[in-house]
């Protein structure tokens, strides 16, 4: 009985490590700029740093903060981002 539990725990641990490794690889290959190409409309999508949704760049609420351009899905997310950043 103890042997079965031990084998089960080892399998769970190995599965955890595989999933963690795959996730880290995917994050490492991700685009750090937050811009993704949309194949349906041909327009680039940008990630809102506050709510992490992707929106077409033409519809994004654009703000420049400390010399860097940020894109938000709306004014509410911009205000939320500013409040969280100032904490």
The DSSP call for residue 34 is -
Residue labelled with tokens 């654009």: 62
More confident residue, 25 or 34: 25
pLDDT at 32 over 70: no
According to DSSP, the residues that pair with 68 across neighbouring strands are: 65
Q: Is the dihedral of CA 15, 20, 26, 28 positive or negative?
A: negative
* Residue 29 pLDDT grade (very low, low, confident, very high; cuts 50, 70, 90): low
């Amino acid at each position: 009985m103890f042997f079965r539990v031990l084998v089960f725990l080892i399998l769970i641990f190995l599965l955890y490590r595989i999933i963690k490794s795959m996730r880290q690889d995917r994050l490492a290959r991700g685009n750090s700029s937050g811009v993704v190409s949309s194949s349906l409309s041909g327009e680039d999508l940008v990630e809102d740093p506050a709510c992490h949704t992707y929106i077409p760049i033409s519809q994004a609420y654009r703000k420049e903060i400390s010399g860097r351009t940020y894109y938000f899905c709306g004014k509410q997310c911009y205000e939320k981002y500013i409040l969280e950043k100032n904490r």
